[in-house]
Amino acid sequence: MPEENRIINVRGIGHAVQAPDKVVLSLTLTAQNKEYAAALKVGSQQIEMLRESVVAVGFNAEDIKTVNFDVRTIYEDEEYRSGNTKRYRSAFVGFECRHNLQLAFDFDNEKLNAATNAIANCLSQPKISIAFTVKDIAAFNDKILESAAHDARRKAEILCVASGVKLGKLIRISYPCDEEINRREVVFANQEVLGCSTDTAFDFQPEDVKADAAVDFIWEIV
């Protein structure tokens, strides 16, 4: 490797911008009951009702994917008195069955409205959030890295010209980890926003998906 005073170390910043072409609905179902088996049964019924709702508007039952499933015990603080002193203790309430699911499909306003209305009016009453992203993540990341390489080369050439030296061969590229895509999300905080007595039509115009990454380059200077 050339001596330290004969190299140039430049960080390239890559950017990519793309209109979203995929939508991901994240759904959460919760069921509580004092009996473990009853909580599981209600949770199973909730999923079945949810699947029936989306099938009714053109999706397949298997389009809804399970992301996470857990059952936990629920306790609440219970007040009691010990003599003249007010105290609290944990009281068993029951079991909570929680399902986290996703429904993903190509972005289309008509299809999205059909899905959100069906889910909002489903008796299982899932919590819902909507994320807009891109289908081909690998190609999107490639754009970022290509942009970073061009940015680093441009900076290095400018610095060399300004310093009266020439840019030599590329010695090293350092990219330690993948950069995550910054997704823009539209979140409905409560069921009442979507749950209407008649169909609600939203004209979704999501922001472009944007992401960036930093890559370090080392060149020899001559």
| Chain centre to alpha carbon of residue 192 | 23
Q: Is the pTM of this model over 0.75?
A: yes
> Does residue 170 register a pLDDT over 90?
yes
What are the angstrom distances between the C-alpha of 10 and each of 112, 131, 159, 168, 178?
A: 44, 35, 10, 13, 19
**pLDDT band for position 177 (cuts 50, 70, 90):** low
Q: Round to whole Å and give the CA distance between 93 and 36.
A: 11
Of 191 and 11, more confident: 11
**pLDDT band for position 178 (cuts 50, 70, 90):** low
**pLDDT band for position 139 (cuts 50, 70, 90):** very high
Region for 190 from its dihedrals, namely left if φ exceeds 0, alpha if ψ lies in -120 to 50, beta otherwise:
beta
- Provide DSSP, 105-173: EE--HHHHHHHHHHHHT-TT--EEEEEEE-S-HHHHHHHHHHHHHHHHHHHHHHHHHHHT--EEEEEEE
Q: Can you give the pLDDT at residue 40?
A: 95
CA contacts within 13 A on the Cβ side of 205: 1
* Delimiting residues of CATH 3.30.110.170 domain(s) in the chain: 1-19+136-182+207-222
**CATH entry 3.30.110.170 includes domain 1-19+136-182+207-222:** yes
Torsion on CA atoms 37, 38, 42, 45, rounded to nearest 10:
60
Q: Indicate the DSSP class of residue 100.
A: E
Q: Could you report the per-residue pLDDT of 190-216, keeping only the tens digit for each? A: 444 444 444 567 788 888 888 888 999
* Delimiting residues of CATH 3.30.70.2970 domain(s) in the chain: 22-133
Q: Can you give the pLDDT at residue 136?
A: 92
In this prediction, residues 73-82 reach a mean pLDDT of: 88
Count of C-beta atoms within a 10 Å radius of residue 46: 20
* CATH class, 22-133 region: alpha beta
| Chain centre to alpha carbon of residue 86 | 45
Q: Could you report the per-residue pLDDT of 12-67, keeping only the tens digit for each? A: 999 999 999 999 999 999 999 999 999 999 999 999 999 999 999 999 999 999 99
> Does residue 176 register a pLDDT over 50?
yes
